[in-house]
Chain A
Amino acid sequence: MTWVRRLLAIDRRIIFLLVAAGVILPLLHPLNLPVTVTPRVKAAYEAIDALPAGSKVLISMDFEPDIMAELMPMSVAVIRHCFRKHLQVIAMTLYPAGTGLGERAILQAAKAEGAVKNKDYTWLGYKSGFQVVMIGIGENLRGIYPVDFYGTPLDNIPMMRGVNSYRQMAMVVNLSGSSATDYWIQFAQGRYHAPLVVGCTAVMATDYYPYLSSRQILGLIGGMKGAAEYEALIGTIGDARRGMDAQSLVHLIVVALVIVGNGALFLSKRAGDSGGAATGSMTR
């Protein structure tokens, strides 16, 4: 059974090459696999879809460039959907490095849907301190954001007239890759009862199922796959849908590696040698 032992002791760099190929090839030669929509993303879509035209939606894009792969396509898709339904978007971020990204997302969506600044959307920009900002919006939005990102006083922005707390907003959408989501649940939803929709990284997604069940959040968009589903729902093709083939392929590779690794270990054990020892310190 030397081949089994050799397989178990395979250089990790060969596995790395396999993964690299799994990403690069489908990007160069797309297979265009279909995207199926899951119920939680549908719920998020429907929650926003059901709002009457002219409602205000607060969208907080709380992410930095390192995880924009997952959250940027999602942000663009959600904002485009809002514009299509003629909802007025109030956008902000709780991360300093999210300022450029948030602005890019909203401009991209506005361009695609022909939305107009200060009439269809307001870009508030960044303010620091999760709790401070969230409680501040609940009490007095102008205390936190006296002016928008471009320095225009909120009172001079037509769509912001009469809007000064969650009470004048029909929904809060949090697109985040961090514990900011926990605070939106605790404060915007818990303390001020704002209806909340969450988009987050795939890693975080499973943690928020209890809050879905308790209706503390109305819908959940998880990761690039969630974003691809949202793109499918509004009928656009963005970076998320383009990446889905590679996603499928790498998942298959990882699954195959788990199965082969376990299979080889099983075989080598049956052959009587301690197959685990050859594989380095990880198998302890």
Chain B
Amino acid sequence: MIGTWIAAILTLCVFSFLYKDNPFYRFAEHLFVGASAGYLLAVQWESVLIPNVWTPLTKGHDLVVLIPLALGLMMLARIWEKGAGIARWSIAFYVGIYSGVAIPGYMQAQIFAQLADAAKPWPAGWAAVSSALVFIGFLTVLAYFFFSLPHRGVHGAGARVGIYFLMVAFGASFGYTVMARVSLLISRVQFLLRDWLHVLPG
């Protein structure tokens, strides 16, 4: 009950930004920043530091855990100017791991899987026209994103066509994005009208 009122008031505080920047919005903004930072910190404590460091160390006497713990503490050294050099080791490890994951991951899901599909034989009949268009679109958009040649001649013409394909794709994303945002607004209004003001049936 009180929760619904608080939520409703905060909702209105944020909506007031549409009129102009004002102390209500500013209050909501600052509350939000603090609350979310605190929440994320507590979540990391509960879902990472306790199960992945504390429990294995104290219950399982798993000394391997000291490695990530050391890396984490080295990261914290960044608090001091002089600690930058120490924190670099943790960053190096972190970045290395994610780079290593990225190489085969992207190679497979975004390169080979897409090439394999692009190389599928075309169906017969009218559907072949669509397949041909997908094929042309694929090549011309690639041409647009080809940086080491100036956009001239055949390549230039291809890139021109490519940009049209890009624009249609952007338009489609755009339309869908409008749809998503409107849905979120509908849900907020449903909350205000139903859960708070009770003018809509449950």
Physical contact A–B (CB less than 8 Å): yes
Of residues 179 through 234 on chain A, the ones whose CB sits less than 8 Å from some CB of chain B are 182, 185-186, 190, 201-203, 205-207, 210-211, 213-216, 222-225
- Which residue numbers of A lie inside 8 Å of B, CB to CB? 13, 16, 19-20, 23-24, 27-28, 66-70, 96-97, 126-128, 131, 182, 185-186, 190, 201-203, 205-207, 210-211, 213-216, 222-225, 239, 242-243, 246-247, 250-251, 254
Q: Does B157 contact A (CB under 8 A)?
A: no
Q: Give the residues in chain B near A16, CB-CB below 8 Å.
A: 18
Q: Are A202 and B189 in contact, with the CB atoms below 8 A?
A: no
Task: Report whether A131 and B179 are in contact in the complex, using a CB–CB cutoff of 8 Å.
Answer: no
Question: Cβ of A24: which chain B residues have Cβ within 8 Å of it?
Answer: 189, 193
Asked if B199 contacts A28 (CB within 8 A), the reply is yes
- Interface Cβ pair total, 8 Å cutoff: 111
A223–B180 Cα gap in the complex (Å)?
6
B169 vs chain A, min Cβ distance (A): 7
* Interface of A: prevailing SS: helix
- Partner of A247 from B169, B179, B199, B200 at Cβ < 8 Å: B179
Apart from A70-B183, A206-B176, list 18 A-B contacts with CB within 8 A: A23-B185, A27-B193, A28-B193, A69-B183, A190-B108, A190-B113, A202-B176, A202-B179, A202-B180, A205-B176, A206-B172, A214-B113, A216-B109, A223-B183, A224-B186, A247-B182, A250-B186, A251-B179
Q: Mark B153-188, 1 if CB is under 8 A from A, else 0.
A: 000000000000000010011001111101111111
Count B-side interface residues using an 8 Å CB cutoff: 36
4 A-B pairs with least C-beta separation: A69-B187, A214-B117, A224-B183, A202-B180
A251 touches B178 (CB 8 A): yes
- CB neighbours (8 Å) of B18 from chain A are 13, 16
Can you list 20 pairs linking A and B with CB atoms under 8 Å apart? A13-B18, A16-B18, A23-B186, A23-B189, A27-B193, A28-B193, A28-B200, A69-B184, A70-B184, A126-B47, A186-B108, A190-B108, A203-B176, A214-B116, A216-B109, A223-B180, A224-B187, A239-B187, A251-B179, A251-B182
Q: Quick one: given A203-B173, A243-B186, A247-B186, are A70 and B113 in contact (CB under 8 Å)? A: no
A206 x B173 contact (CB < 8 A): yes
Interface check B90, CB cutoff 8 A: no
Interface residues of B in 80-120 (CB under 8 A from A): 101, 105, 108-109, 113-114, 116-117
CA distance A210 to B115 in the complex (A): 10
